[in-house]
Amino acid sequence: MALWSSVASSPIQLVKRESSPITWDAYSIKIDGERVFWRAGEMAPWRLPSPALWKDVFEKMKSNGYNVAQMYFHWGYHSWSNQTVDFNGIRDIDELMRMANETGIYVSARPGPYINAETTSGGLAEWTRTLKGAARTDAADYTAAWKPYIEGVAKILAKWQYPNGPVIAVQIENEFGDTTTAARNYMALLEKAYTDNGIYVPNFHNAASDYASPWISGKGATDMIGYDFYPIGWGPCPANPTVWTQPYSKPFAEIVKYRQDVPLWIPELGAGAFDT
């Protein structure tokens, strides 16, 4: 049974961002004022191009104790040419959200444009290689390239935001450590694209654990910030288990130093990887 009202059967509840039912403080996110402990697993729909199987994944996640499905969306998968942005069939994000809603699992959306995810070009559309402007900057041609995709995703996610659906957060970019003005402008442009297209749930950024994220404060800073943690690393298995017990204090100290208003959390906890 769905936890949220069906978008198809009830009118969209328009919510101003400052009135969002999703809030947070230094301890947790809160949904309708109730604290929620975020227990997330990853689901990559572009790695499972069979919509008939999506709901099964959500059901298995929920039955194993997860309450959030984090989802990367792949720009190159939806936009294989500069004339195309496709959200149909195996690329149907609307259907994906409907299934998550029916299952009763929250969604943390991660559209990129860059996602890494050990995929070609980190998910950037391959045709952007021909652009003169640098990727992941405020270059005019790069901005014009990602806008149709990001705005398209935002419009779909907007109607599935809680309380109308399962979406409770949207990630801005991915493990992005650039501190230049062009990078800060780029992050601000991404955030504006989401809010201009109806996104009111909190946004966040996931920083790699080996640098102080510039998105804790200043232009382009996100609502929430977390650090990814891969204790096993990328070496040959079996990895050294002692790293699991090492304190993860340095990245969190960076957050506490500048932001006392956000919870300490790990958006990505690496429990394994392909054998290198």
Active-site positions read 175, 268
What does the radius of gyration of the chain's CA atoms come to, in whole angstroms?
18
Residues in the chain: 276
Contact 122/115 with Cβ under 8 angstroms? yes
Burial tier of 52 (Cβ tally within 10 Å: 0-12, 13-18, 19+): exposed
The arrangement of strands across the sheet holding 167-171 comes to 40-42, 68-72, 106-110, 167-171, 203-207, 224-227
How far is residue 149's CA from residue 119's CA, in Å, rounded to a whole number? 18
Bridge partners (DSSP) of residue 24 are 29
Looking at residue 188, its amino acid is A
User: Which tokens in the block code for residue 175?
Assistant: 């493990």
Looking at residue 23, its amino acid is T
How far is residue 190's CA from residue 184's CA, in Å, rounded to a whole number? 10
Contact 210/27 with Cβ under 8 angstroms? no
